Amino acid sequence: MSPAAAAARVASFAANFTTSTAPSSGGRLLRPFRGNPRPRRAVASMAVSAPKSPAAASFLERRESERALHFVKYQGLGNDFIMVDNRDSAVPKVTPEEAAKLCDRNFGIGADGVIFVMPGVNGADYTMRIFNSDGSEPEMCGNGVRCFARFIAEVENLQGTHSFKIHTGAGLIIPEIQDDGKVKVDMGEPILYGPDVPTKLSSTKNEAVVKAELAIDGLAWHVTCVSMGNPHCITFGSEELKVLHVDDLKLSDIGPKFEHHEMFPARTNTEFVEVLSRSHLKMRVWERGAGATLACGTGACAVVVAAVLEGRAERKCVVDLPGGPLEIEWREDNNHVYMTGPAEAVFYGSVVH
């Protein structure tokens, strides 16, 4: 294969993701995606060169085969996802097992999950499905849905403010891209009835599980349980630890014990929260199926709901996560929770799977 032919293949591949025809500097195969709110450094690059052997030519041909998966890597406050354009089929282009391999940070692309943009159903514009880094499938993902909205705007070449109706396992979710590039998402109403979260813990307040005791490693943790379409267990401390300093926690030790506790039949996401003020909270999260992550959108929403139920905060808060802040509001007029935060493209690529 000649150098010109190799370069033509790369140009064809790039056309799958952007209408831009300008060549990237240095012949890079992987480059920042078009439309970022601010310039970002390319995460990875590969110089284009002619194959030097039949084996190399065979590899390039295989990359362009039906087994080549094109993707765009997105992140929302460091919670990162492999975005796949799956609009031509209601069947995900990779299996849960393949998704787990792709998410591996040493032997794959590296991500907290793989998100598929699929055809809409029941009046929705699109359907969102996600496989976690362990291959499990959650109902939805707050940071993921912001990335989903930005990805749709790119592949549909949409400019300005736009909103979408997205069908998820947690119901209909409506994100809106704002003028400043952030995405505001109507996350719907929180679910507080214990069996629907689900949790086996007994209700303590109007059928809700608020400040219930959960025994782990000899400590009596005070927990409030909330579902944002997926289950969350929120704690502000224990009988022994009245005030949490979340930076001191070793999540890899304590997180799995919450996630797999017998009181949570569907397992659970767990948020550990430090109250900085009545409008400013700080949290760390252990996500079901993904472990410790830099951010969790549904978790931040659940934290504000729990803080209000426990009388610790107002209905509108800034929630600090390791990856950055989210703005969360639990409105009293319609009982909906709204989340506002960034989502950014990092790079695009393809992988043989």
Nearest Cα to Cα of residue 346 among 39, 11, 90, 33: 33
DSSP 139: S
Catalytic, 301? Answer no
**Please, is 170 exposed, middle or buried when counting C-beta atoms within 10 Å of its C-beta (0-12, 13-18, 19+)?**
buried
Among the options 103, 147, 225, 296, which is catalytic? Answer: 296
Which one of 141, 225, 301, 317 is the catalytic residue? 141
Name the residue among 233, 320, 232 with its Cα closest to residue 275.
320
Q: Going by C-beta distance under 8 Å and a sequence separation of 6 or more, which residues neighbour residue 9?
A: 60, 64
Contact 209, 247 (CB under 8 A): no
Residue carrying the six token digits 């949790």: 199
225 is catalytic: no
Hey, how many other C-beta atoms are within 10 angstroms of the C-beta on 306? Answer: 29
Q: What is the DSSP string of 30-99?
A: S-PPTT-SS----S---B----SSHHHHHHHHHHTSTTEEEEEEEEETTEEEEEEE-TT-SS-SS-HHHH
Known catalytic residues are 141, 296
